[in-house]
Structure 1
């Protein structure tokens, strides 16, 4: 029975530590554990958190995320603040902006429509086919002396 009680005590000991930690610190430690090492992204995110009501840090962060293809990480960080009553309106607004930016990025990278092959190329291919077929008929069916 002491073995069964020991894991319960460990989880109880971990729970107060997890609730006492700030959300951004947990997010940074989680990102470090999965290998996010972009120092510029981290610095811009920290600046955006410090000046939450200012648009300039958020715009710089979005621009960097676009260039470094980190829109999913940025959206996840903003989504973590959707339940915060003070930060939720701006977080939702920024998530909408990220969706628009991602859509524009996808539209910019779509493949161009296929172009029609010039008729001269088709005519040349048909002429070559006819010449080869005529040569084969000549070689196979016309008797040679």
Structure 2
């Protein structure tokens, strides 16, 4: 199981070619395997705040690549000074559940946006719900929001 991160300079002002510097996050991966994640540490998204950085991370707790109904979401908090998570942060399982009882989520994304009603800010979190164990047509994209 490998979570990979990379730095990309798509439009280098020095005129150099596009570059990428991928690195495997071994300590980060081990933190997740120590709490039962068996594989597929895939998509994640980061939110920086004044109190630290937060990653919303997908991971499989079943048989890797064979258990779409076992994908779960985790919140990883780490120090503001760290650009890349080094495994020293804290992990909290997030347990969203749909009205139909679906708990298999992947492809997390998180953002802070202006509240459309003009009442400050809101946190928007999106997921993909896998069709395995989905009820009543719940499979597909899902969007949650919370006013701050």
TM tier relative to shorter chain: under 0.3
Of structures 1 and 2, the one scoring higher in RCO (CA 8 A, sep 6+) is: 2
Which has the larger share of strand? 2
Q: TM-score normalized by structure 2?
A: 0.25
Q: Between Structure 1 and Structure 2, whose CA radius of gyration is higher?
A: 1
